[in-house]
Homo-oligomer: A and B are copies of this chain.
Amino acid sequence: MSSSTEERRLTARGRATRDRIVAAAATLMYERGVAGTSTEDILKAARVTSPSQLYHYFGDKRALVQAVVRHQTERVLRFQRPLLSRLDSFEALQAWRDAVVQAQHARDCRGGCPMGSLAAELSDHDPEARAQLVAGYAQWEGAIRDGLRAMQQRGELDADADTGRLALALLTALQGGLVMTQIRRDTTALEAALDTMIDQIRSHATL
């Protein structure tokens, strides 16, 4: 039975409990890592008294981890969506860059990327989690690329600019910037990387 079938069969109350467990697990795993988070801690944070509930909803920790990956991917893309959906001008790129930097300051430069942190810990060991993360990053990359292509179609970027490659490079610079922000606890590296990538995109501007 796929997890989405499982989800549809839950009652509203069961659904709420399941969501509470996923949200609690996501928060703890973001703060402490997947391996550093015990099922006891998750149950406590989700105010679930019976350990059997966890197994009822998820079967095992691995299935819960996958639900957390889905939860964090959706959360990141939801946060990014308003900006990404119209990332088709230099003003929009600048506003997106500013919002990303601002979001790091808002959390004291801690935590890194909610998707990237999971990815670093899980990619080598959990093929399902990795597949979900690959799909999440592909959406993110696609949204950036769509914006650059729109600029190109309007003639604002050179016809020979490789928008796919620039979009992937920009997303990659962002990921590195989030890691460096967490290490340095300042956004200088994030800003340097994003600004340099945007300069490079700007070098293809026709205006």
Closest to A129 in B: B183
A22 within 8 Å of B by Cβ? no
Closest to A115 in B: B183
Count chain A residues whose beta carbon lies closer than 8 angstroms to a beta carbon of B: 49
With the chains together, A183 CA to B24 CA distance in Å? Answer: 24
Q: Is the pair B183, A119 in contact by a Cβ cutoff of 8 Å?
A: yes
A189 within 8 Å of B by Cβ? yes
A75-112 near B? 1/0 per residue, CB < 8 Å: 00000000000000000000000000000000000111
Q: How many copies does the complex hold?
A: 2
Q: Is the pair B196, A200 in contact by a Cβ cutoff of 8 Å?
A: yes
Q: Is the pair A124, B137 in contact by a Cβ cutoff of 8 Å?
A: no
With the chains together, A196 CA to B203 CA distance in Å? Answer: 11
Q: Is the pair A31, B124 in contact by a Cβ cutoff of 8 Å?
A: yes
- With A117-B120, A169-B192, A172-B176 as known contacts, state yes or no: A184 contacts B33, CB within 8 Å: no
Contact residues in B for A165 (Cβ distance below 8 Å): 192, 195-196
